[in-house]
Amino acid sequence: QSVLTQPPSVSAAPGQRVIISCSGSRSNIGDNYVSWYQQLPGTAPKLLIYDNNERPSGIPDRFSGSRSDTSATLGITGLQTGDEADYYCATWDSRLNTALFGTGTRVSVL
Amino acid sequence: QVQLQESGPGLVKPSETLSLTCTVSGGSISNYFWTWIRQPPGKGLEYIGYIYYSGTTSHNPSLKGRVTISVDTSKNSFSLQLTSVTAADTAVYFCARGGFSAYTQGHFFDHWGLGTLVSVSS
């Protein structure tokens, strides 16, 4: 059902930077705040970013978020092997009246 | 630190009702939104719905009215019922807390349970 599109995978070498995009529409990203989650293998998702660009306590500033029009991005700098995980964007959809998750992006550290 | 723990049967027969409970510890269930989210094996996350501690609910319209979410403040817990299940409902089911910020209420999820796998099979 997801209408939030993410690239299936991104990869980079340790220490490098990756950017994950999340593309939506006016009724979701265009009208509501975006959050981002990290899901390590076999674990529950963990909140990384809320309100487009805010980090919860304990999340390092290597993780950053932004939103522009109907798209959002998650940036990870100083990539570490421990960052290998699936990443999901999420937001509310005002037309469907439900929360939506993105299709998910797997980050690999080369 | 708030902790959430899902509980319920790991196997449900087709056409029957899936029932799960999420028990909240380390904090009160009051004044927050509480949600259910699921993840089919090898697939992405799907939002099921939420309940506010006062009892207001909302659910994903894609589940076509099969969802009931209830809260028991005396037990600091909330529950999910999903009726008429099929194999497509096989998933890891997570409960999560809806966070509050200056701009949003309940639209992001700041604490999660570990998840519980529910398989639908005869």
Distance (Å, rounded) from C-alpha A37 to C-alpha B79?
23
Cβ-defined contact of A35 to B112 (cutoff 8 Å): no
Band (B52; pLDDT cuts 50, 70, 90) = very high
Q: Please give the Cα distance from B75 to A3 (Å, whole number).
A: 36
Interface contact A103, partner B, CB < 8 A:
yes
Give the model's pLDDT for residue B42. 95
Cα separation, B73 vs B29, whole angstroms: 7
Report the pLDDT value the prediction gives residue B100, as an integer from 0 to 100: 87
Instruction: Write out pLDDT tens, residues A50-82.
Output: 999 999 999 999 999 999 999 999 999 999 999
Using pLDDT thresholds of 50, 70 and 90, give the confidence band for residue B3: very high
Query: In terms of Cα–Cα distance, which of B33, B32, B35, B34 is closest to B47?
Result: B35
Segment B102-111 mean pLDDT: 89
Query: Residue B71 burial (CB < 10 Å; 0-12/13-18/19+)?
Result: buried
pLDDT of A1 strictly over 80: no
Restricting to A residues 41-80, those with a Cβ less than 8 Å away from any Cβ of B are: 43-47, 50-51, 54, 56
In this prediction, residue A2 carries a pLDDT of 64
Q: What is the mean pLDDT of residues B62-66?
A: 90
- Rounded mean pLDDT, A2-6: 87
* Of the listed ranges A3-12, B14-23, B57-66, B87-96, the one predicted with least confidence: B57-66
- pLDDT number for residue B104: 85
**Segment A10-40, tens digit of pLDDT:** 999 999 999 999 999 999 999 999 999 999 9
pLDDT given for residue B61 in this prediction: 92
**A51–B58 CB contact, under 8 Å:** no
- Using CB atoms, which residue from B45, B99, B110 is nearest to A101? B45
Contacts of B56-64 with C-beta under 8 Å, sequence gap 24+, read B58/A97, B58/A98, B59/A98, B60/A1, B60/A98, B60/A99, B61/A96, B61/A97, B61/A98, B62/A1, B62/A98
What confidence tier does B118 reach under pLDDT thresholds 50, 70, 90?
Answer: very high
Distance separating alpha carbons of residues A12 and A92, to the nearest angstrom: 30
Contact between A51 and B103 using a beta-carbon 8 Å cutoff: yes
Query: Is-contact A72 A25, C-beta < 8 A?
Result: no
Residue showing tokens 């639209």? B107
